[in-house]
Structure 1
């Protein structure tokens, strides 16, 4: 139980890629962490599973009910719909920046680096993403790498669902390391 006593937020809304929420959530829980699925609205959010709507996931807390100080890390699942909707939510963007500025781990997979772009976190970082947003990441000032997982001072990015085991392992490793005090604010 590597992460006993740690609490991790997964920020998502409707249209998250099913495996990109469920695999990290399950691995983090298996490692002993408390994991909360956070969303702008209460109830359930529905995933996207490859080519159609997937299973609903229960929202543990809404953005209005949480503070960045409640969490040791933040996980941002991708899918095309989820991060596109979240980057229009001012409270979601504020929460992401607050976690980042507190020098805690922020992990984004697939299309979720759009949220790191929108918050200014991507600029000056080494990152990866799903290949279709490579140009967006580069245009935001990040150094894009074609790697399964890239870590830059506690910012973890990953390409796609095929890399979720490595992504989840890296989240566990970075949370165990603690805050990244050398990191500059966005």
Structure 2
């Protein structure tokens, strides 16, 4: 166990349809680095995770409902993928406002696979460079992002990766950026 994140609190924002490995591996790596990690969702009901986006996986216990929490309670945020998960999150005003608040405060954020879809709805990718699953890259470009095809990309505290194959690099970069703490607020930052 390492202590790079001792005293840090991280939120993972996810709901039904989250890709299990993209939730569990970052959660476990962040905990090993000393962070307290909460799963925040649309309600406090357990969420149904998925394997390979098509096979139902385990139910995952939720710590807090997004409408009853604040970005002020956390030092950093992780947005795992799965196609249904971010699609549901981006349709929820409380979830979108929660994401915007991290950017407005300059707090580091990580998003993998389809997770950046929620960033598009939060209007926080304009002028940033990131990566994602190929099928949402046009959405990111249309929202003003520069999209590259790399294993992990970091832009002023925003860490992104393409898919579960990138999880080792993604988690290592999350720990590094989350240990650094706040970053300058990006000019295209959130409007929250």
**Alignment partners' CA distance in 1, 2:144 and 2:102:** 21
**Alignment partners' CA distance in 1, 2:184 and 2:148:** 24
SS class of match (1:183) = coil
SS class of match (1:36) = strand
C-alpha contact (below 8 Å) 2:104/2:185 kept by paired residues: no
SS class of match (1:169) = helix
Q: Which residue of 2 aligns with 1:20?
A: 22
**Alignment partners' CA distance in 2, 1:40 and 1:94:** 12
**Alignment partners' CA distance in 1, 2:67 and 2:85:** 18
Q: Which residue of 2 aligns with 1:153?
A: 156
Q: Which residue of 2 aligns with 1:119?
A: 122
CA RMSD of aligned residues (A): 0.9
**Alignment partners' CA distance in 1, 2:45 and 2:120:** 28
Map 1:76-115 → 2, pairs under 5 A:
76-115=79-118
The answer on 1:71 being equivalent to 2:74 is yes
1:176 to 179, 187, 191: 179
Figure out how many residues of one structure are paired with residues of the other and give that number: 186
C-alpha contact (below 8 Å) 2:26/2:171 kept by paired residues: yes
Map 1:31-46 → 2, pairs under 5 A:
31-46=33-48
SS class of match (1:171) = helix
Q: CA deviation at 1:20?
A: 0.5
1:57 to 35, 57, 60: 60
Deviates more, 1:92-101 or 1:47-56: 47-56
Q: CA deviation at 1:182?
A: 4.9
Could you give the per-residue CA deviations for residues 139-171 of structure 1, whole angstroms, max 9, x where no partner exists? 111110000111110011110000011111111
Q: CA deviation at 1:64?
A: 2.5
Could you give the per-residue CA deviations for residues 29-50 of structure 1, whole angstroms, max 9, x where no partner exists? 0100000000011120010111
